[in-house]
Amino acid sequence: MTTFTAPIVGMFFRLRDDSVPAPAIIANLPSDTPLSLVAEPDNAYDANAIKVYILSADIPHGEEIEVACAAQGTASDELYSTDWHLGYVDSKKTGAAAYLAPLLSRVSSCVIFFDAAGKPGIKVEISEDLPSAHRQE
């Protein structure tokens, strides 16, 4: 297994354009919360685009996340009954989406992590070795 990491981007676009409370959800997720990745080959901006989702069953229940999402217009019943598109695997700065797109079928797990600055990313386990440029040792 190889561990691959990449930033999550586009969270604030989800809120602005689609009324998705992605920033509030992400800010209240503990590290290692499971996420899902979905290829979006018809994306008008990037044929290698990969959506980052959280399934409703994986959203932690609690007052903090409910209050944060309510402030962005999402009631708790909707929060816990919807799978949310949180953002995308970064493409422009790191090239991670282009690298990961052909490997999606080999992803065995994907979780959220936060870097030293508190920025969210994905940590993915892939079943075959990858070049060292994207490995987390």
136 within a domain of the structure (yes/no) = no
125 within a domain of the structure (yes/no) = yes
Q: What is the pTM of this model?
A: 0.86
CATH number at residue 123: 3.30.70
Q: Which two tokens stand for residue 89?
A: 């695997």
30 within a domain of the structure (yes/no) = yes
Contacts of residue 132, defined as CB under 8 A and 6 or more positions apart, other chains included, come to none
* Alpha-helical segments (H) within the chain: 11-18, 22-27, 63-71, 76-79, 96-100
What are 43-95's pLDDT values in tens digits? 998 999 999 999 999 999 999 999 999 998 899 999 999 999 999 999 888 89
Return the pLDDT at 90: 93
Contacts of residue 131, defined as CB under 8 A and 6 or more positions apart, other chains included, come to none
Q: How many domains does the chain have?
A: 1
Structural domain boundaries, residue 88: 2-130
Q: Which residues face 87 on adjacent strands? A: 52
What are 9-50's pLDDT values in tens digits? 988 776 556 677 899 999 999 999 999 999 999 999 899 999
